[in-house]
Homo-oligomer: A and B are copies of this chain.
Amino acid sequence: MSQTSKYIRPLVAVDCLIFGFENQTLKVLLIKRKLQPYQNEWSLMGGFLKDKESADEAASRVLKELTGLEGIFMEQIATFSKFDRDPAERTISIVYSSLIDISKFEAQLNHAYEAHWFKVDEIPALIFDHEEMVAVGRDYLKKKAALQPILFELLGEKFTIPQIQQLYEEVFESSFDKRNFSRKLLGSKLLHKLNEKDKSGSKKGAFYYELDKQTNHYNFNTLLTLAYSQL
Residues of A at under 8 Å CB distance from B?
4, 6-12, 48-56, 76, 78-79, 81-83, 92, 94, 143, 146-147, 221, 224-225, 228-229, 231
Contact = CB atoms under 8 A, between A and B. Distances in A.
Contacts of A229: 221
Given A83-B54, A94-B79, A10 B12 contact: yes
Contacts of A221: 225, 228-229
Contacts of A94: 79, 81
A225 B225 CA distance: 8
Given A79-B94, A147-B143, A8 B224 contact: no
B12 A11 contact: no
A54 B76 contact: no
A55 B79 contact: yes
B81 A49 contact: yes
A79 B82 contact: no
Nearest to A94: B79
Contacts of A82: 54
A11 B6 contact: no
Given A147-B147, A224-B228, 18 more contacts: A4-B11, A7-B48, A8-B48, A9-B9, A10-B49, A12-B12, A12-B92, A51-B83, A54-B81, A54-B82, A54-B83, A55-B79, A55-B81, A76-B78, A76-B79, A79-B94, A81-B94, A221-B229
A55 B225 CA distance: 35
A51 B56 CA distance: 26
A224 B51 CA distance: 43
A49 B91 CA distance: 12
A48 B79 CA distance: 15
Nearest to A146: B147
Contacts of A83: 51-54
A21 to B, nearest CB: 24
Contacts of A9: 9-12
A53 to B, nearest CB: 7
